[in-house]
Amino acid sequence: MQTHTPFSTPANHSFAGAYNGSAAAPQPARSQRLAALGQCLMQRLETPLIVADADGAVLEANPAATRRIERRDGLWLDAGGRLALRQAGRWVPLSRWHAQVVASGEMVLPLEAEGNAPMQITLRAMPAGEGTGQTGGWLLATIEQVQLTRTDAMRRRFRFTHTQARLAEMLCEGMRPTCAAEKLGVKISTVRTHVGQMYEKTGTNSQAALVALLHAV
């Protein structure tokens, strides 16, 4: 009877060498492969991404972030290559928040940028690369559009007051003005005054038209 032995290979056998008769080509270290992968992902990422040191000096920036810096769209580099953020009409150095981010791990800040959509920048602490000689850790910064609630969107678009935004939500839910007045703790005449102001701010002239417009926000 013919017997079959399990398939096995000698310990020193190389499949790569078996194909071309030569030893396998040396493979890059895992750290090198990860670095190459990270660089590739950064280049393709549409979200602006920046790595900065404790002084705010930019170490890495993907194309999306570079375009913002070049346009000064919420971001700016000083003569020393240190990053600053646009807040309340002025440029604030990124290094200002380094200690707080390292202590807490993460921080989200508003960012003044072009366009009407509100933006925010998220700062995350990350360890400094080995062999850099730097202490204090690095910061990873990403920029995203703020996801507004419908109430926030109505206040931003139509300049509603806080009370008017609450009243708008109630009307959108089908609540009658008398019930809304009771829930808000105000007189029905006050609700009618708010509704009249909301008509002016939205360019509508009836509650039905107002609610239809608010549902589209």
Where in 32-161 does DSSP place strands (E)?
Answer: 49-52, 58-61, 75-77, 83-87, 90-93, 106-111, 119-126, 138-145
38 pLDDT band (50/70/90 cuts)?
Answer: low
Positive or negative CA dihedral for 131, 133, 137, 141?
A: negative
Reply yes or no on whether the pLDDT at 134 is more than 70. Answer: no
42 pLDDT band (50/70/90 cuts)?
Answer: low
Provide the β-strand partners of residue 90.
Answer: 87
Identify the structural domains of the chain with CATH numbers, from first to last: 44-145 (3.30.450.20), 150-215 (1.10.10.10)
Which carries the bigger pLDDT value, residue 9 or residue 105?
Answer: 105
Reply yes or no on whether the pLDDT at 45 is more than 50. Answer: yes
13 pLDDT band (50/70/90 cuts)?
Answer: very low
Which carries the bigger pLDDT value, residue 194 or residue 31?
Answer: 194
What is the rounded average pLDDT for all residues in the chain? 82
SS3 category, 189: helix
Reply yes or no on whether the pLDDT at 123 is more than 70. Answer: yes
- pLDDT of res. 99: 93
Q: For residue 171, what are its two tokens?
A: 């009307």
pTM above 0.85, yes or no: no
Reply yes or no on whether the pLDDT at 153 is more than 70. Answer: yes
- Residue range 97-123: average pLDDT? 90
Reply yes or no on whether the pLDDT at 10 is more than 70. Answer: no
- Residue range 20-34: average pLDDT? 61
Identify the helix (H) or strand (E) that includes residue 98.
Answer: helix 98-104
What b/e string do you get for 54-89 counting C-beta neighbours within 10 Å, with b at 16 or more? bebbbeebbebbeebbeeebbbbbeeeebbbbbeee
Q: Which of 34-38, 45-49, 112-116, 169-173 has the highest mean pLDDT?
A: 169-173
**Strand 119-126 vs strand 49-52: parallel, antiparallel, or unpaired?**
unpaired
- Residue range 102-125: average pLDDT? 89
Which carries the bigger pLDDT value, residue 184 or residue 19?
Answer: 184
